Amino acid sequence: MSVESLARRLSAISAHLDTNTMSRPKVVIARHLGPDVMPLFNRPDLDVVTWHSETEACSRKWLLENICGAAGVLVMLGDGKVDAEFLDTAGPNLRVVSTMSVGYEHINLKELAQRNVKLGYTPDVLTDAVADVSIMLALMAGRNARETTTIWPNCPWSPFQFCGPQLSANWIHQTRTAGFIGFGRIAQATLARLIPFGFTHCLYSGNPGSAPNTARDAELARTHKLQSVRRVTLDELARGSDVVFVLAPSSPDTRHIVNEGFLKQMKKTAVLVNTARGTLVDSDALAKALREGWLWGAGIDVVEGEPNVTTEHPLVKEPRCAVLPHIGSATTETRLGMATMAAKNLIAGVLDGEMPAELNLIREVLR
């Protein structure tokens, strides 16, 4: 153990002893949450320490220096790992970690479970916003939004200039099939948005360890007047879909689930949309597939390696790939909802109330 780590450990122990003599538990908020949310912490039963900025991320050094003795910590997805160092530094008073995100790959769930620390997250709130962006990216990819804006207006008009495959059903393609890698809340909300475009079929892949939900699939087909909703293999999904939406959770099992083998089976007129996590798609394989015309285009809101992504990233360089800077949840309403839920998770977790959204750590660790 380094001298710095030892100093932090001693500080945590000291803070633990001091806190036991105090009536107010300490909470640390790693980002200012704005004027609509921060008043939730104006209460006499909490000792609140807050990073000063809404736009500038706190440093790891600041976080480790301030979490000593904390009963609760609220973090962002990009604030670094909540790992053994983080938890050891916080010390034995820590009851809850609240993350303002639906994803929790930045958090060591096993370490939290071993210490009986609760985890709050923000599911459901961003479902509609991410589904909206998924449709937007499908349209951008199919209609060459990025490629055309780089050459217009310095090009002559021609009858088929800028043309790409139409997302909606049409006189040539009277049936349309959506494919989903992962079929949770966001995927089903995306499917609902595709119905006015004339989609007629839905294919999806699921966790190999779970049984198909045939009753739900039949209900979705009836509600949306689809000809079929079917769980299929990844190979069938690649071959049969006009647009593939990547919406599975991030895990070792799903890393590069979209790889060269998958991409080679896609229709040449199909598009791929990833609004889940960058690690689910092999960036080099997708760039190669786009260059060689295995599929028509791609739209991504998440990039493997983010936030350290430069103009040299293979997908950023690829003109047939529409790239967004991870804005899937970036609506005012959604971010306000996420911040509010994260704050309420933190407060409830510290004061032994019911958290609006607590992850079942035991189930996740044993999965």
Catalytic residues: 277, 306, 326
- Give the side-chain half-sphere CA count within 13 A for 30: 29
Cα distance from N-terminal residue to C-terminal residue, the chain: 32
What does the block give as tokens for 200?
A: 């007629």
Q: Which of 345, 358, 364 is nearest to 73 (CA)?
A: 345
Where do the H-state alpha helices sit in 21-155?
A: 60-66, 84-90, 109-114, 127-142, 145-151
Q: What are phi and psi of 347, to 5 degrees?
A: -65, -45
What DSSP assignment string belongs to 290-303? HHHTSSSEEEES--
Task: Provide CB contacts within 8 A for 87, sequence distance 6+.
Answer: 94, 108, 111, 112, 115, 117
Strand segments (E) across 172-240 = 177-181, 201-205, 228-231
Alpha-carbon gap, residue 282 to 320, rounded angstroms: 16
Count other Cβ atoms within 10 Å, centred on residue 351: 16
Q: Check residue 135 and report its DSSP letter.
A: H
Q: What are phi and psi of 358, to 5 degrees?
A: -110, 130
Q: Which amino acid is at 310?
A: T
